[in-house]
């Protein structure tokens, strides 16, 4: 596995960069110091050789001259990069140094290269400038300081003091960024953040990254053992993107929660609206007829009658007044999230309820944020009754769950992460229209 360090010190991670198959990293970066525009690097594994093929696009600002000299350095090798034209980049970044010739011709990198540096010679100063460092984690070892921090973090228990955790947090911040993708760093960071109950979203992402690191290195058992250690440290508290809170649990009686879902559904159905369980709530029901024990909120969707994006947005915004009239809104939390395309309904004890919009256009079904016209109307409607009176689900729930969670949706994955960036791109028209209509309402 290899990781990248940009000249500014910013990291990007290539968790799947191995010689087992094709992988790629796409990143956009601008560094004022080197005026570098790193557009795209692609890596392909070469089976049975252990080597990698590097290709991609790198564009430099005018400071580097019209034809900058660029080299890849590894071990005792200096390999000049040659470039060809990328029509798209020529149009997009016209006027930059090498925008007319920005595509890197393929380079073979041998397996034994522990570190690789991408170097450019500046025409004005004549000095070589390192803009990108690639580090093969197979050869990277933690520093003595990191080893000690890691050991101390592993030794923490639920009874350990916050003072101890804060001290470890300060120590970890002083560790060089070059170690930040090592398992020792990731485990220490997750444990310390979990003990202090800080930055839950980042902590979940680091657990996902750690799992990728362990999987690539065929150390999945070590990840599972660490996940157990984390669970013990949290002592019944659930880590999720939403924060550190108690999940539904495996033994808890969920009857009161299902009853609350039924009441909300019935109230909305009286207004002529169809409601179904959605996302994690649907996943738990279909998989095991119960709520997911590590989940901590309820997901519902309401079927809107509009059949164009602009009409959908206006109906969705107008629905807020109906929810207000029915006293179904969680006013405090709803003000925070409603611009994101969903509503917060009345809580069930400590558990929040999220309501998302669903609609049909020309026989294709949409559910923000996971289903973008990938289902036919018949996959969702008419809604199917569950074995809980008054609670409904899509007609063919497995098809929606596959779109939302992937082919392995039946396998529990506590640290699964939704791709919000992709969703926002696909639903960009819906979100843009939502901003416009809400802005009009504030005038």
pLDDT above 70: percentage of residues in the chain: 80
Going by pLDDT thresholds of 50, 70 and 90, the confidence category of residue 400 is: very high
- Tell me: pLDDT of 52 over 60: yes
Long-range contacts from 85-92, C-beta under 8 angstroms, 24+ separation = 86/57, 89/39, 89/57, 89/59
b/e code 339-355 from CB counts within 10 Å (16+ = b): eebbbbbbebeebbbbb
Cβ distance 386 to 285 under 8 Å? yes
**Can you give the pLDDT at residue 35?**
37
Tokens 């090592």 belong to which residue? Answer: 182
Which of 5-9, 183-187, 214-218 is predicted least confidently?
A: 5-9
Task: Kindly tell me if the per-residue pLDDT of 59 is higher than 90.
Answer: no
Mean pLDDT of 196-209: 90
The residue-averaged pLDDT of 309-315 equals 96
Q: Give the mean model confidence (pLDDT) for residues 393-406.
A: 96
Q: What is the pLDDT of residue 194?
A: 95
Structure confidence at residue 240 (pLDDT): 82
Kindly report the average pLDDT of the chain as a whole number.
Answer: 81
For 1-47, the pLDDT digits (tens) are: 444 433 333 333 333 333 333 333 333 333 333 334 444 555 555 55
Residue 15: predicted pLDDT: 31
The predicted-structure confidence for 73-126, as pLDDT tens digits, reads as follows 877 888 888 888 877 777 776 777 777 887 888 777 766 566 777 787 766 666
State how far the Cα of 101 lies from the Cα of 83, in Å rounded to an integer.
5
Residue 72: its pLDDT value, please? Answer: 83
Summarised one tens digit per residue, pLDDT across range 327-373 is 999 888 888 877 889 999 988 777 889 999 999 999 999 999 999 99
> In the prediction, which pLDDT does 95 show?
73
Q: For residues 87 and 185, give the distance between their C-alpha atoms in angstroms, rounded to a whole number.
A: 41
3-state helix, strand, coil split of the chain in percent (to 5) is 40, 30, 35
Is the backbone of residue 9 left (phi > 0), alpha (psi -120 to 50) or beta? left
Task: Judge contact between 54 and 106, C-beta under 8 A.
Answer: yes
pLDDT tens-digit series, residues 234-291: 988 888 877 887 767 665 668 888 999 999 999 999 999 999 999 999 999 999 998 9
């Amino acid at each position: 596995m290899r990781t990248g360090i940009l000249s500014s010190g910013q990291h990007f991670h290539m968790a799947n960069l191995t010689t087992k198959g094709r992988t790629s990293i796409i990143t956009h970066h601008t560094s004022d110091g080197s005026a570098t525009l790193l557009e795209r690097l692609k890596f392909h594994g070469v089976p049975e050789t252990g080597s990698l093929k590097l290709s991609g696009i790198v564009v430099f600002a005018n400071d580097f001259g019209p034809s900058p000299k660029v080299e890849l350095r590894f071990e005792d090798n200096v390999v000049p990069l040659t470039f060809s034209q990328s029509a798209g980049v020529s149009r997009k970044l016209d006027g930059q140094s090498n925008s007319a010739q920005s595509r890197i011709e393929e380079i073979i990198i041998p397996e034994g290269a522990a570190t690789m540096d991408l170097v450019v010679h500046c025409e004005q100063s004549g000095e070589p400038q390192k803009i990108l460092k690639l580090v093969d984690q197979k050869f990277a070892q933690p520093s003595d300081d990191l080893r000690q921090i890691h050991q101390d973090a592993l030794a923490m228990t639920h009874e350990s003091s916050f003072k101890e955790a804060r001290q470890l947090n300060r120590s970890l911040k002083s560790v060089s960024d070059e170690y930040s993708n090592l398992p020792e760093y990731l485990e220490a960071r997750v444990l310390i953040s979990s003990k202090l109950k800080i930055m839950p979203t980042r902590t979940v992402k680091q657990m996902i990254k750690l799992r990728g690191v362990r999987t690539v290195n065929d150390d999945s058992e070590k990840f599972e053992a660490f996940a157990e250690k984390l669970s013990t440290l949290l002592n019944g508290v659930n880590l999720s993107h939403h924060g550190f809170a108690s999940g539904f649990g495996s033994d808890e009686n969920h009857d009161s929660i299902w009853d609350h879902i039924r009441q909300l559904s019935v109230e909305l159905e009286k207004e002529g609206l169809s409601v179904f369980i959605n996302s994690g709530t649907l996943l738990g029901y279909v998989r095991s007829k119960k709520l997911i024990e590590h989940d901590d909120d309820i997901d519902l969707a309401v079927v809107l009658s509009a059949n164009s994006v602009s009409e959908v947005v206006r109906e969705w915004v107008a629905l807020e007044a109906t929810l207000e009239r029915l006293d179904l809104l969680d006013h405090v939390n709803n003000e925070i999230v409603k611009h994101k395309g969903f509503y917060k309904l009345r809580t069930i004890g400590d558990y929040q309820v999220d309501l998302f919009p669903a609609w049909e256009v020309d026989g294709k079904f949409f559910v923000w944020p996971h289903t973008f016209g990938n289902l036919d109307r018949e996959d969702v409607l008419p809604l199917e009754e569950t074995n809980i009176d008054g609670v409904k689900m899509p007609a063919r729930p497995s098809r929606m769950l596959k779109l939302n969670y992937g082919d392995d949706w039946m396998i529990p994955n506590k640290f699964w992460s939704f791709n919000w960036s992709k969703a926002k791109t696909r639903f960009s028209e819906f979100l843009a229209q939502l901003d416009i209509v809400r802005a009009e309402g504030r005038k």
